[in-house]
Amino acid sequence: MKPLCLTLAVLLIAFSTVAFAQSNAQKSFDTLKTLAGPWEGHVTTVPSMEGMASNTDMQVTLRVTSRGNALVHEMKETGKPDDPTRYDHPVTMLYLDGDRLLLTHYCDAGNRPRMVASISPNGKTVDFTFLDVSGSQQYGHMHHAVFTMIDANHHTEDWTYIMPGDKPVRAHFDLARAK
């Protein structure tokens, strides 16, 4: 009887750990979905990236789609025509995959890095760390992303792009909900 009780106790602990992980991923995803809508603000890149000013205004749109199962994130430079064949217009998808919150970034560099999320103890920051990348890395790849919720109308995004030669370029977005 003791081995059966011990086995049941171990199974309950294992299942509660899985449930905790799923709830953290779901909590992170639900937090990010509150950002749905248009955003505008300033981005600062260090060092500056070719084709993008080091200090410029950006527009970011987040949209919940697929019956709430995905979040689409699009960004473009303010004032540039909406022509992704001529101007940068990366698209990022955020979605749950089992007990993980994943991000796939469809980059203008022609690749698709994936990142996995962790949430801060206060629930206001979702940090995506590099998992893997598909496609050519000839021009580099997106490597890290952090979303920080300030309040209902203000959030920041920090993106790290790895250039050839493993040189990081960091972009800090300070965004306000567009009116």
* pLDDT tens-digit map of 132-155: 999 999 999 999 999 999 999 999
pLDDT in tens, 14-67: 444 444 444 789 999 999 999 999 999 999 999 865 655 578 899 999 999 999
Residue 5 has pLDDT above 90, yes or no: no
CATH of the domain at 10: 2.40.128.20
Contact 126, 27 (CB under 8 A): no
Name which of 146, 151, 142, 93 is nearest 117 in CA terms. Answer: 146
**What pLDDT, on a 0 to 100 scale, did the predictor assign at position 23?**
73
Which one has a higher pLDDT value, 54 or 105? 105
pTM given for the model: 0.83
Contact 155, 39 (CB under 8 A): yes
**What pLDDT, on a 0 to 100 scale, did the predictor assign at position 17?**
43
pLDDT in tens, 57-69: 999 999 999 999 9
Question: Any residues with CB less than 8 A from the CB of 115 and at least 6 apart, and which?
Answer: 102, 103, 105, 128, 129, 130, 131, 142, 144, 145
The total number of structural domains that make up the chain: 1
CA distance to 28, 87, 96, 165, 167, per residue, from 162 (Å): 25, 20, 25, 8, 6
- Residue-number span of the structural domain to which 160 is assigned: 2-177
Residue type at 81 in one-letter notation? P
pLDDT band (50, 70, 90) for residue 88: confident
pLDDT band (50, 70, 90) for residue 81: confident
Query: 36: number of CA atoms within 13 Å, CB side?
Result: 13
Residue 122 has pLDDT above 70, yes or no: yes
Residue 8 has pLDDT above 80, yes or no: no
The rounded distance, in Å, linking the Cα atoms of 72 and 65 is 7
My answer on whether omega of the bond before 47 falls inside 30° of 0, hence cis, is yes
The rounded distance, in Å, linking the Cα atoms of 26 and 40 is 26
What is the DSSP track for 118-130?
EE-TTSSEEEEEE
